Amino acid sequence: MRYALALIATLLAMPASAEPFHFVAFGDMPYCTPGAPQDCPAEEGRVAALMREINAARPAFSIFVGDTKGGSELCTDERVLRAFTWMTLANHPLVYTPGDNEWTDCWQDRAGRFDPLERLALIRARFFRDARSLGRPMPVTRQADADPTHAAFVENARWERGGVVFATLHVIGSNNNRPTDPDERPASRPPEGAMAEFEARDAANRVWLAATFAAARQGNARAVVLAMQADIDYPARCGRGQTSGLVAMRAALASEAAAFGRPVLLIHGDSHTWLQDRPFATATNLTRIMVPGERDVRAVVVTVDPEAVDPWSFRLVGAADRVRNDPC
């Protein structure tokens, strides 16, 4: 309860009306391929160009929803930390939540057989040093600081703008780092320790989700925005894919959003295709957007009108020369 008090105090102090504002969401870039190393500078250049376009849009902040590298790129320090090069170009606060390519999949042969937990520790130490965003520093509330029982989760953040509560949740692709059940396809058997890591993080994420909605309700927030990497609706939408590592979070999202009753926006990446819909029949107040990514190096400008019944509007920015239209 105490980790919601600071946010509640901020919300209670807000004026009766809130002005529209906009922010940017993007993720899954740059993706370089080992078979074509000569193309990597161009891919990195595309992201730098997109950052310049994002800066020109003058967002209140941006959210990067994970996967700072391709899954087949080696998980060396240089590759994992490469994102600093373009994240420092942001002239606004940039909030980052990790993806699977940075650490979860690093045990695979194609990624160099690194220890995923060691890579996760590196990411936490370098990208989440204190309770501020990247880019132009913006204070955030971290789960690690607000809730001592989940002190490891420095990457889960929360902040407020214009009566809207924002939160990141470290939910990732590759079945959320959970070893698959025997009947799941494709099968995934990450190294020893993966199940324990998944169980601890999955529990922490659901606690953070509940705390976010509790603070939003008690502070009379107009809306909630949640950002994560994983496309948690892929199996339901496409009829295939792993579910065991995402089922509890998916159920919690639908339940919390329905109970909140006000507008909720879920932002994620993972499947590299622009998509906007309402994926939960039991929570029709939740709008989901999936940002482009991989070859489609674009970002989404989200305009928020906190006073509107439907507060969200979207436009894409960036080069539209490599658009992918298949969400499965």
30 prior amide bond cis, ω within 30: yes
Chain centroid offset of residue 232 CA: 12
How far, in Å, CA of 194 to CA of 318, rounded? Answer: 37
Does residue 76 sit in helix, strand or coil? coil
The model's confidence at residue 55, banded by pLDDT at 50, 70 and 90, is: very high
Residue 11 has pLDDT above 60, yes or no: no
Give 218-268 as a DSSP string. Answer: HTT-SEEEEE-S--TTHHHHHS-S--TTTHHHHHHHHHHHHHH-S-EEEEE
The model's confidence at residue 40, banded by pLDDT at 50, 70 and 90, is: very high
Tell me what pLDDT residue 133 has.
98
Q: Going edge to edge, which strands form the sheet with 275-277?
A: 141-142, 157-161, 164-168, 223-227, 264-268, 286-290, 275-277
* Burial status of residue 42 (CB atoms within 10 A of its CB: 0-12, 13-18, 19 or more): exposed
Mean pLDDT of 127-145: 98
**Domain chopping of the chain, boundaries:** 2-318
Mean pLDDT of 145-165: 98
Tell me what pLDDT residue 285 has.
98
Cβ count within 10 A of residue 238: 13
The 10s digit of each residue's pLDDT in 173-189 is 999 999 888 888 888 88
Tell me what pLDDT residue 37 has.
84
The model's confidence at residue 255, banded by pLDDT at 50, 70 and 90, is: very high
Tell me what pLDDT residue 294 has.
96
- Which DSSP state fits 89? T
Q: Which CATH architecture has domain 2-318?
A: 4-Layer Sandwich (3.60)
The torsion of the CA quartet 35, 39, 40, 41, rounded to 10 degrees, works out to: 160
Lowest mean pLDDT across 71-85, 136-150, 177-191, 262-276: 177-191
Mean pLDDT of 119-146: 98
Tell me what pLDDT residue 5 has.
53
Tell me what pLDDT residue 190 has.
86
Residue 34 has pLDDT above 90, yes or no: no
Question: Pick from 25, 14, 5, 12: which is nearest to 304 by CA?
Answer: 25
Mean pLDDT of 112-121: 98
Tell me what pLDDT residue 142 has.
98
The 10s digit of each residue's pLDDT in 204-236 is 999 999 999 999 999 999 999 999 999 998 888
| Cα Rg of the chain, angstroms | 18
Tell me what pLDDT residue 181 has.
87
